[in-house]
Structure 1
Amino acid sequence: MSDAQRICLGAIAGAFGVKGELRLKSFTSEPEDIAAYGPLESEDGALSFEITLTGQSGKGALIARLSGVNTKEQADALRGVRLYADRGRLPALPDDEFYHADLIGLEVFDTGGAPLGRVKAVLNHGAGDLLEIHAPGMTASVLMPFTREAVPTVDLTSGRIVADPPEGLF
């Protein structure tokens, strides 16, 4: 199945306790919703897990049980595994919301039509989404806030973003 048909909903952050529970980072808008989409699969599709939420850690991660994971060692071995769902099981989004997977690879242009680069990743370190843009001729990527002010237009049909980046960003 192609990446366009699957969406990453979360990642396993490691074991929690000694009985197979683990810390789970959710990428859904409501973190608890990660358990509502049925079985989630590893990126390669080799592993599939039913998720049962059991609590929250003090660090903002969810605490969960995954089907087939019964020991701390099994939970530790899954650290870093990303969990995916088929796109068809996810809700349709309003026009002004996007799945991160839909933004990756889009070309970025400034408001005058000049090319700025291509979206390499969508990051969130707690203060809002950032578009990591790979700009031609630059050695480092540029991080641009994904806000209405900086990104007034996302056109998924045309595969492009129109950006009005903050002064001096590019």
Structure 2
Amino acid sequence: MEVVVGRVAKAHGIRGELAVDVRTDSPDERFAEGAVLTGKSRNGGTTRLTVAAARWHSGRLLLRFEEVPDRTAAERQRGLLLLAEAGELPPIDDPDEFYDHELEGLRAELTDGTVVGTVREIVHSPGGELLSLDRDGAEALVPFVREIVPEVDIDGGRVVLDPPEGLLDDGGETAGAPDDAAGPDEPAR
């Protein structure tokens, strides 16, 4: 299984460097010279990329890949997701932190045990992380904070939610939930 460790934001300079939005806590390890990543384009196509160089510039990681020789080739990489093998990720020591792939697919249930959906993905927004729940084909976005998600039970395959009134649009399972509730649109806590 592969997990997202970055996203190409744009080309930088004329030598084929790429400005990358980092989505890993260990960028020096993930993007070390010689590291091989998978690039996944918006249309689902994939390509293998080998890190030739990495450096920080104005708070953003700049990468150069062996397979991207110049600015023209770099421009074609915009929006590319950078993936690494999940098995190669270091273990997390903090019990309140999780990799996105550990949460995806977990059953979402209320504190009383009522199942309200499945975690589709983790959305990383400027305001914090959100759980994107699949609720019978509809999406519900839930802030991934302890007050609303008091328990994450990876081994039990579930996350427990204690949502405020109106957060979930669930046809009446949560008292007072409006029919058109929606939230903003990535790891965790």
Short-chain TM bin: 0.7 to 0.9
| 1:100-119 correspondence runs (5 A) | 100-119=100-119
Provide the residue aligned with 1:164 in structure 2: 162
SS in 1 for 2:53: strand
Task: Number of aligned residue pairs: give it.
Answer: 162
Deviation, 1:83, is 1.2
Higher mean displacement: 13-22 or 41-50: 41-50
Structure 2's unaligned 5+ residue stretches are: 169-189
**What's the secondary structure of 2:31's corresponding residue?**
helix
TM-score, scaled to structure 2: 0.76
- RMSD over aligned CA atoms reads 2.1
1:11–1:169 Cα change, 3 Å: same
* Paired residue secondary structure (1:79): coil
TM-score between both structures, scaled by the size of structure 1: 0.84
**Alpha-carbon separation, structure 1, partners of 2:160 and 2:56:** 41
Which structure has the highest strand share of the two?
Answer: 2
Are the aligned partners of 1:39 and 1:51 in contact in 2 as well (CA < 8 Å)? no
Q: Matches of 1:151 and 1:31 in 2, distance apart?
A: 27
Which residue number in structure 2 is paired with residue 41 of structure 1?
A: 38
1:128 alignment counterpart = 128
1:87-134 per-residue CA deviation (whole Å, 9 max, x = no partner) reads 232110133211111211211000001111111221111121001112
| Distance of 2:75 and 2:97 partners within structure 1 | 34
Find the aligned partners of 2:53 and 2:139 in 1 and give their Cα distance: 38
Q: Which whole-Å CA distance do the structure 2 matches of 1:52 and 1:103 have between them?
A: 32
1:55-134 to structure 2, matched below 5 A, reads: 55-57=56-58, 60-94=59-93, 95-134=95-134
Shift of 1:46: 3.2
Match of 1:142 in 2: 140
Unaligned runs of 5+ in 1: none
Distance 1:108 1:14, change over 3 A: same
SS in structure 1 of the partner of residue 101 of structure 2: helix
- The verdict on how the C-alpha distance between 1:30 and 1:90 changes in structure 2, with shifts beyond 3 A counting, is closer
Distance between the aligned counterparts of 2:39 and 2:100, measured in 1?
18
Q: Structure 2 matches for 1:12-31, cutoff 5 A?
A: 12-29=8-25, 31=27
Give distance in 2, aligned partners of 1:31 and 1:120: 25
